[in-house]
Structure 1
Amino acid sequence: MLKILLFVVLSFFIQIFCEDIDVTLPNGKIRGLKVTPVVTNLTYYSFLGIPFAAPPIGNLRFKPPQPVENWEGTLIADNNDALCYQVGKKTEHASEDCLYLNVYTPVVPSTSSSLPVLVFIYGGTFRRGRSFPGYKSPAFLMKENVVVVTFNYRVGPFGFLSTEDEVIPGNMGLKDQQFALKWVQQNINLFGGDPRQVTLMGQSAGSASVTYQLLSPGSAGLFRAAIGNSGSALCTWAFQRNAADIAYGIAAEIDPTFERNRTSEELLNFLSNVPASAIEDTADKYNAFAPVIEVPHVGALISDLMYRNAENGSFNKVPVLMGFNSEEALMMAEKTGSWRSYVRQYDKDLRTLVDDDMYITDSDKKLLVGKEIKKIYLNDTDMFADKLGESVQYFGDNRFIRPIIKFAELIRHHVDLYFYQFSYHGPLGGNSVEIPGIGKVAHAEDQNYFWVVHDNYDSFPDTDIKTLQRYVTLLTNFVKYLNPTPIADDLLQNITWPKATENDYLYLDIDTNLSIQTNPRNFSYSKWVDIYEENAAKPFISY
């Protein structure tokens, strides 16, 4: 009960008192804020908008991040309005000069403290997203004595354009993430954090990014544990097909005379010298971007198949905690008419149920596979347009849940793996869509039970506050102890969260009550596995 009250009192954020506090980095001095809410037992320090890499402008566009130059005087780190260009969304502060990070610490910086560190990567399908611009979001974690780092990374064409050769190898956004992790290793001790106790966490595309960093040899030693919420490198949207065609298409969209037979060097020169706004304006046609498998070269982030490396253990072996929400695609049905119209494509042609990443080119075979996929969710005579719940389940499985479960299944043979399903649904989740017979928790809904998203929590039911408290405790326990349930805890109903092993795929179901379950999403997942094994082209890339 005491811990619940401590969370509730965090609601009084409206009145705060701030005072300056300085930290001297290798690049120069920064000045952050000491934040003290009305409840005086919650005091922490925020440093917002610290440059961690040189602005990727001019000849650094489409290049890996480079070290930031030293600055003179004191950099005032009290806001982070910086925002990388977003795909299809004009934003006032958007710029190529966006590689800044935030540090939040519950202890006086530059002391001898050595606290565990959580580094968080935002989602947004590699097209959008930003780090927290203000100071309040990690406040729940400050109560748990964890140092928190958030940062921007390039998205869209500025972060993931590739010519599929060494000229523009791609994955600049992932390399920004890796560069931020190196910054943490070099500097986090100045904020009371321990560089030996870094956990990397991400949501959606951020979770897929976490798994890419697991798979990247260049990230070895940069973190000791990983948390993934609702995404993996095996998600079909987390891998870019035909990247070079897209790069040339963007150039031709800007200048119709730019032809596909031009060299990669000419393409780089052309796109490096047009205004950033010209590239941004091509989003009307080119709006899907993601990581690529790079050609082998010095500095490549990943040059091998994600599935194969996860399967054979060729990745950074650290403890992993990951999972998904009970109905990831639920918000697709928020507008019933539009969703029903969208899923009619499946009823008209069952081949549209077959993802391109299965690489089935024969039309007849594709139709047969589409029929098998339909059987997972519907009877032969049923229509997806009439069964909105089942269509939501299909979409969520195909885009999120199947590749998340598979990635975890592959790596559990090599590392300590804790797997979960977030099933609790309450007002705090912010989702009003409910369809009988399926899960209730939509994509990203769990994040409202981890980060501070409101100024006042008084109006939320006790079950919401308790679930928030449990989720924060489970994840920060993992950050601190590499075990989400290291001791018996009444808050956690004295449950022990077991590892998912080779023999038992056990997971924690996070609902009104916590429970241990076996074989996540088993009503559909095992059938998908059979379909992939029998029909998808091998070796698998995504899943």
Structure 2
Amino acid sequence: MFGIHLILWCVLFSFGQCSEVNVRTQLGEIIGERTNVTFLDIKYQVDRYLGIPYAKPPVDNLRFKKPEPAEPFEEPYYATTFGAICQQLDMMQWPSKFVKSEDCLFLNIYVPNQASDQPTGHAVMFFIHGGALSFGTGNFYPGEVLSSVGNVIVVTINYRLGLFGFLDMNDKRAQGNFGFWDQHEALKWVNQNIEAFGGDKDRVTIFGQSAGSSSVTFQMLYPLNKGLFKNAIVESGTALMPFPLTNDTNTAAKNFAEAAKCSTESTDEILDCLMSMPGDKPTEILIDAMKSGDFADQMKFVTMPTLDGDFIKRSATDLQEASLTGEVEEVEFCRSINLINGVNEAEGALYILSYGNMEELEHLQISRNQMNNEVIPGIFSMVFGFDHVLPQSVKKMIISEYTDWTGPNDPLKLRHEVVRLNGDINYNIPGVAFSLLHSNSTTAAATYMYKFTALVDLPLVESPSWNAKANHGDELGPVFGYNFDYKEMYNLTEYQVPAWELDLSSRIMTYWSNFAKSSDPNLPTSSTQAAGPWPRYTVDDQKYMVLDKEESTGKFLFAKEHDFWKTILPKLLEVLESSKGADSCTD
């Protein structure tokens, strides 16, 4: 996701004079501000509490440790400005008001100044941001409009990223997955304190996008989250995405230490180096790697979730297989959570950014040789492992599946196949697989699925003009009511969002907030769409909702692609390997 350039919307809301509001929590008094917001010509009041610490600063001896609960406030805490964002590469061209620091474990709360839908209080929507677990911040997603239109409390959070979030030395001094533990700690904070804000702790919905979406599913697979949330909304990413889970990140740790000119003869020396380096040093190292222009050099410093034996004991794929023969604790907990899961129509367009700048991408052509001997072998290795040889017969099947036979060697058609292939492998098939895992039980909670196909006027992730389909992240504008502070960054002040997009945004915010309130996207506010109610997703008919200018419903979303990659190819590979007849890959 490096190098993403965001095209921005104008701010569609206006804030009036702010007035002070306060709540008293278990940690002490918190002072926020009441402000005004407008959406579709309707004015709302919303209370916002920004930059609340939910854990102790993860610095000094708490670096590379699980988060510890925040301490009580000795004096009233003024929550009127955002807290620092976590150390990271500045991939998103953040506003200057976003300051980076290791002391970054803050959350933001948006409370509608309206009567709650239930006597128990407002339903709560807890958002986990994306960014490849390497960049991003909850500060970027103001919740005023979603909170007001949906009449729900919205919470956004920061969590540790990159090295500070996912270093695993296979050592009790640095056991990994700290970013996930941060998310878990923030959920505990909400459970213990949200009632003070008028929230219902028993109606918490976690939702996220991209890496935040996969984080949601990892939280769904952690049984000790029981009681912390009831529903989950998964936008473009699951724990079944094809990234490898290892037992440690020692190689990346050693590379960071070497780049910092430290001795790397022993684990102790590496860890001492990483513990003592300034908080901004890992970012400096990553910037130097980016400047080199060498992708392999950049990948040397990637840290990802690991099988730490605590938060993640088995991969989601292993859990999926084990659940077919018996009860698995992680899967049973997952199935107790109501789920909305979805993807965008052209998720794979995100990956063409690696082919050059936007001017180059406008004229991008993919040759048949590139497709056959670079793209497909790379995808095969990502799915089946780099130790697997790609048999020629399997390669031919994949080529056939990802060829537009109206012009099989047309370089302009092949670029669309590259988009489709990357979308299938990274988002569509993992998304379907997770919905099938979730719904494949007579005791499972409700499952819903969607495909977002709306071609928004100004997409979040910049795309060349030939990709006229919904790209990765395009649903975020509608989900948050186009409530983004882009004026400071891009000075975009005159643009008007098309009326149909605002209408779509209103409907999506209603679906999302309905689900938070009732675990059903259709209730309590019924859909006005001709498509009728959003159908439940089941293994038998796999119904889903299409979100566009006008909604529609369908069946068996990406079922053919799922069957091809999850059933046909594995069985063929098994036969070839068992017969020792796997032929080698040739031109």
The answer to whether TM tops 0.5 is: yes
Q: Distance in 1 between matches of 2:388 and 2:126?
A: 44
* Shift in CA distance, 267/179, structure 1 to aligned 2, threshold 3 Å: same
Query: Could you give the per-residue CA deviations for residues 442-491 of structure 1, whole angstroms, max 9, x where no partner exists?
Result: 00001111113358999333321221111111111111111111368352
Q: Distance in 2 between matches of 1:178 and 1:234?
A: 20
Shift of 1:509: 1.1
Asked if the contact 1:103/1:147 (under 8 Å) is kept, the reply is: yes
* Shift in CA distance, 200/488, structure 1 to aligned 2, threshold 3 Å: closer
Q: Distance in 2 between matches of 1:487 and 1:197?
A: 14
Q: Distance in 2 between matches of 1:359 and 1:464?
A: 41
Q: Tell me the TM-score normalized by structure 2.
A: 0.80
Secondary structure, aligned partner of 1:533: helix
Shift of 1:269: 2.7
Q: Distance in 2 between matches of 1:235 and 1:241?
A: 18
Pick which of 414-423 and 180-189 moved more.
Answer: 414-423
Query: Out of 177, 190, 194, which is 2:196 matched to?
Result: 190
State the one-letter code of the partner of 1:54. Answer: K
Pick which of 311-320 and 42-51 moved more.
Answer: 311-320
* Shift in CA distance, 147/275, structure 1 to aligned 2, threshold 3 Å: same
Asked if the contact 2:545/2:552 (under 8 Å) is kept, the reply is: yes
Query: Out of 112, 115, 135, which is 1:128 matched to?
Result: 135
Asked if the contact 1:347/1:383 (under 8 Å) is kept, the reply is: no
Q: Distance in 2 between matches of 1:104 and 1:536?
A: 51
Shift of 1:400: 1.6
* Shift in CA distance, 157/302, structure 1 to aligned 2, threshold 3 Å: same
State the one-letter code of the partner of 1:352. Answer: G
Partner residue, 2:80: 78
Asked if the contact 1:63/1:172 (under 8 Å) is kept, the reply is: yes
Partner residue, 1:423: 453
* Shift in CA distance, 197/310, structure 1 to aligned 2, threshold 3 Å: farther
Partner residue, 1:409: 436
Shift of 1:73: 1.9
Q: Distance in 2 between matches of 1:333 and 1:408?
A: 27
Partner residue, 1:142: 148
2:546 matches 1:471: no
Query: Out of 231, 235, 256, which is 1:229 matched to?
Result: 235
Asked if the contact 1:423/1:439 (under 8 Å) is kept, the reply is: no
Query: Could you give the per-residue CA deviations for residues 274-327 of structure 1, whole angstroms, max 9, x where no partner exists?
Result: 2223322332244433211113xxxx2121121232451533221111110011
Shift of 1:23: 1.6
Asked if the contact 2:255/2:301 (under 8 Å) is kept, the reply is: no
Query: Could you give the per-residue CA deviations for residues 71-128 of structure 1, whole angstroms, max 9, x where no partner exists?
Result: 3222211111411011475977111000000011114899976111100000001010
CA RMSD of aligned residues (A): 3.2
State the one-letter code of the partner of 2:498. Answer: P
State the one-letter code of the partner of 1:475. Answer: W
Q: Which runs of 5+ in 2 are unaligned?
A: 1-9, 290-297, 485-492, 575-587
Q: Distance in 2 between matches of 1:462 and 1:509?
A: 19
State the one-letter code of the partner of 1:406. Answer: A
Shift of 1:535: 5.8
Secondary structure, aligned partner of 2:179: helix
Shift of 1:266: 4.2
Q: Distance in 1 between matches of 2:524 and 2:88?
A: 43
Q: Distance in 2 between matches of 1:535 and 1:477?
A: 44
Asked if the contact 1:199/1:227 (under 8 Å) is kept, the reply is: yes
Query: Out of 297, 307, 311, which is 1:293 matched to?
Result: 307
Shift of 1:362: 4.3
* Shift in CA distance, 72/310, structure 1 to aligned 2, threshold 3 Å: same
Query: Out of 269, 280, 290, which is 1:277 matched to?
Result: 280
Partner residue, 1:512: 549
Pick which of 515-524 and 45-54 moved more.
Answer: 515-524
State the one-letter code of the partner of 1:21. Answer: V
Partner residue, 2:3: none
2:376 matches 1:373: no
State the one-letter code of the partner of 1:440. Answer: K
Partner residue, 2:52: 50
Secondary structure, aligned partner of 2:471: coil
Asked if the contact 1:171/1:292 (under 8 Å) is kept, the reply is: yes
Query: Could you give the per-residue CA deviations for residues 202-245 of structure 1, whole angstroms, max 9, x where no partner exists?
Result: 10001000000001122122101111000001112474686222
Query: Could you give the per-residue CA deviations for residues 469-523 of structure 1, whole angstroms, max 9, x where no partner exists?
Result: 1111111111111111136835233612222112111111112222221111245
Secondary structure, aligned partner of 2:146: helix
Partner residue, 1:541: none
Q: Distance in 2 between matches of 1:199 and 1:309?
A: 23
Partner residue, 1:319: 338
Partner residue, 1:452: 481
Q: Distance in 1 between matches of 2:209 and 2:400?
A: 31
* Shift in CA distance, 15/83, structure 1 to aligned 2, threshold 3 Å: closer
2:373 matches 1:356: no
Q: Distance in 2 between matches of 1:474 and 1:431?
A: 24
Percent identity over the alignment is 28
Q: Distance in 2 between matches of 1:469 and 1:81?
A: 29
State the one-letter code of the partner of 2:80. Answer: D
Shift of 1:359: 2.0
Query: Could you give the per-residue CA deviations for residues 305-352 of structure 1, whole angstroms, max 9, x where no partner exists?
Result: 212324515332211111100111225457373584788744444422
Shift of 1:16: 0.9
Q: Distance in 2 between matches of 1:478 and 1:290?
A: 31
State the one-letter code of the partner of 2:306. Answer: V
Q: Distance in 2 between matches of 1:19 and 1:480?
A: 28
State the one-letter code of the partner of 2:45. Answer: T
Q: Distance in 1 between matches of 2:221 and 2:283?
A: 30
Secondary structure, aligned partner of 1:132: helix
Q: Distance in 1 between matches of 2:461 and 2:257?
A: 40
Q: Tell me the TM-score normalized by structure 1.
A: 0.87
2:212 matches 1:206: yes
Partner residue, 1:530: 567
Partner residue, 1:25: 25
Q: Distance in 1 between matches of 2:453 and 2:468?
A: 7
Q: Distance in 1 between matches of 2:313 and 2:52?
A: 31
Q: Which runs of 5+ in 1 are unaligned?
A: 1-9, 538-543
* Shift in CA distance, 87/279, structure 1 to aligned 2, threshold 3 Å: same
Shift of 1:252: 2.2
* Shift in CA distance, 129/24, structure 1 to aligned 2, threshold 3 Å: same
State the one-letter code of the partner of 1:63. Answer: K
Query: Could you give the per-residue CA deviations for residues 120-171 of structure 1, whole angstroms, max 9, x where no partner exists?
Result: 000001010101258x543133222101111100010100111234332210
Q: Distance in 2 between matches of 1:271 and 1:66?
A: 20
Query: Could you give the per-residue CA deviations for residues 28-50 of structure 1, whole angstroms, max 9, x where no partner exists?
Result: 32210011247785111000000
Secondary structure, aligned partner of 1:363: coil
Secondary structure, aligned partner of 2:44: coil
2:203 matches 1:178: no
Asked if the contact 1:11/1:457 (under 8 Å) is kept, the reply is: no
Q: Distance in 2 between matches of 1:304 and 1:394?
A: 27
Partner residue, 1:116: 123
* Shift in CA distance, 37/496, structure 1 to aligned 2, threshold 3 Å: closer
Secondary structure, aligned partner of 2:169: coil
Secondary structure, aligned partner of 1:530: helix
Shift of 1:15: 4.5
Secondary structure, aligned partner of 2:70: coil
Pick which of 10-19 and 80-89 moved more.
Answer: 10-19
Q: Distance in 2 between matches of 1:11 and 1:180?
A: 29
Pick which of 48-57 and 280-289 moved more.
Answer: 280-289
2:170 matches 1:167: no
